[in-house]
Amino acid sequence: MVERQARGALVGELVDESVVMPVRFRTLLLIACIAGASARGLAADPPAAPVTNLGSPEAALRSYWALIDWREALRRSRTPDAAETSYHRMMIEVTAGRTQKFYQSIQALAESDRQTKLERKIISTTQESAQRAVVLANIRNVTPIPPGAKPGSPSLAQRRQKGEDYKYVLTLDGSQWKVLEVWSLFMGSRQLYGQAGPDYPVYVPPQ
């Protein structure tokens, strides 16, 4: 009742000031507490955006990679989202067995600041025309393996050892090279980031 009366004052209703003042005081106190908690929970200043260089196909590709790494660094610089944390905690409460272990692992990953370390190597650059270049690269996950962790299958161990090949098609836009297409060459050539067509919606997200 008190909160309804307090809200009524905001839309022109007459409310006893002796009722409104304590509510306002509690609201200000709550805001101050939240601000203080937020300040204590803040990480270091977010990392600055990388300087891009689009002067050559290789430089443009490295700028593209740098932006991907910057986005990951921004994610790590933020405190975990309260709603997301609550979601995982509640899902753990309503699940059991393998399903529960899955949500426990996802929660641990979301709350950790572990950085995935990738080793990227440019294999070759082919200038197909004055306006088009193709760069082949190998990307390998070199994140330190936690003690006791084992690969889920021989194919995963091989991917860890050899990495995965990618093909990047770059186009010259004025005087700047830009990434036009990204292809994964793992288990067959497959274009990534393709625009979705007007297909009938049948996709069901993981349930």
User: pLDDT of 4-32, one tens digit each?
Assistant: 333 333 333 333 333 333 334 333 333 34
pLDDT of residue 82: 78
Task: Kindly list the domain boundaries of the chain, sorted by start residue.
Answer: 2-41
Averaged over 39-52, what is the pLDDT?
A: 72
- What's the predicted TM-score (pTM) here? 0.68
Q: What one-letter code names the amino acid at 31?
A: I
Q: pLDDT tens digits for 158-173?
A: 999 999 999 999 999 9
**Phi, then psi, of 115 in degrees rounded to 5:** -100, 125
The residues pairing with 126 across neighbouring beta strands, listed in sequence order, are 134
45: which 2 tokens?
Answer: 């200043």
